[in-house]
Amino acid sequence: MLGGMQTSPTRPRLRLLATGGTIAGAQTGGGGRGYTAGALSIEALLAAVPQLAALAQVEVEQVARIGSQDMNETVWRRLAQRAQAAADDPAVTGVVITHGTDTMEETGYFLNLVVKTAKPVVLVGAMRPATAISADGPMNLYNAVAVAVAPESAGRGVLVVANDEIHFAREVAKTNTTQVGTFKSPNRGLAGLIHSGRLHYFGPTVRRHTAASAFAPLAAEDLPRVDIVYAHAGMGRELIDAAVRAGARGLVIAGVGDGNLPAAALAACAEAAKAGVAVVRSSRTGGGLVERNIEVDDDAAGFVSAEELNPQKARVLLMLGLTRTREPAALQVLFREY
């Protein structure tokens, strides 16, 4: 349902899609720690930032009201469809999506691949609930709207705004459990900075996204099951075998170091690949890239390297990629292009 705020022909129109998260979270007790994500309506959030009215005419749409740990393909599809509809509306300048921070990087990267538009699409969240001391949500929301209505934000793909920073959805990762500076873009760095609504971009993103993505707009077919298996010292093959038995069409390995895994697990992955399961090697380190054929013979085993994508983003690309091909070489091309 759409509900309008103030209207004026001179201010850009902004579509705000709300999904829940801490930015809409209310504390549950006096202790300051417990809270329920998504408890507040988007109208309550907007009321906390009356300054938004000077930036844009904000139209709100509540797409979901969940903690982002419950984000899944069903909600992603609805969100992608609503973001696409907003972007396709000639009267809308940009889109802001409020979202929990836990899985914001996955949703952001998914939308970066499936929404066909050059208009700004900006995800925003908060680390402190709306009722906390020094809640970070109001300023984050203000900055996100400023980014989404700025002409220089167009064509940069999906962006994440938090803590006075602008991140590319492809690059950003949540790196801290509770602190407001949780978001980092470890490999390629920030898209830019934003201070009280004033934008400073550093450079464009380099990979295919949004208007140039072959996965946009999102097709109707279901995405295949892709599981992530976390590697560790002493790891066996059991979880890999279990994922294959459970019907995984793809496996992303959160490998140690440069995407490595112990011999028994490696053998299980090679068997899975031979049986037609796509195996992508990523890293649990949180930075750097996984190259092919360093300590693992990817060519012989039929593996794909995730390059710079962390495991959760590699999973997103693999799910979409598997709707097009199961060939390791063709999947590898996707991991170089997106």
Site of interaction with ligand GLU (CB under 6 A) = 21-22, 37, 67-69, 100-102, 125, 127
Distances (CA, A) of 278 to 20, 226, 245, 292, 325: 33, 9, 14, 15, 10
Active-site annotation holds for 178: no
For the bound state, the minimum distance from the C-beta of residue 149 to ligand GLU, rounded and expressed in Å, comes to: 24
For the bound state, the minimum distance from the C-beta of residue 132 to ligand GLU, rounded and expressed in Å, comes to: 11
- Within 8 A by CB and 6+ apart from 43, the residues are 3, 60
For the bound state, the minimum distance from the C-beta of residue 21 to ligand GLU, rounded and expressed in Å, comes to: 4
Number of residue whose CB is nearest ligand GLU: 100
CB 286 within 8 A of CB 310: yes
CB 87 within 8 A of CB 291: no
Which residue in 112, 141, 130 sits closest to 317, CA to CA?
Answer: 112
The amino acid occupying position 236 is G
Point out the catalytic residue in the list 7, 10, 19, 22. Answer: 22
For the bound state, the minimum distance from the C-beta of residue 293 to ligand GLU, rounded and expressed in Å, comes to: 37
**Residues in the chain, how many?**
338
The amino acid occupying position 272 is A
CB contact burial 46-69 (16+ within 10 A = b; e otherwise): beebeebeebbbbbbbbbbbbbbe
Catalytic residues: 22
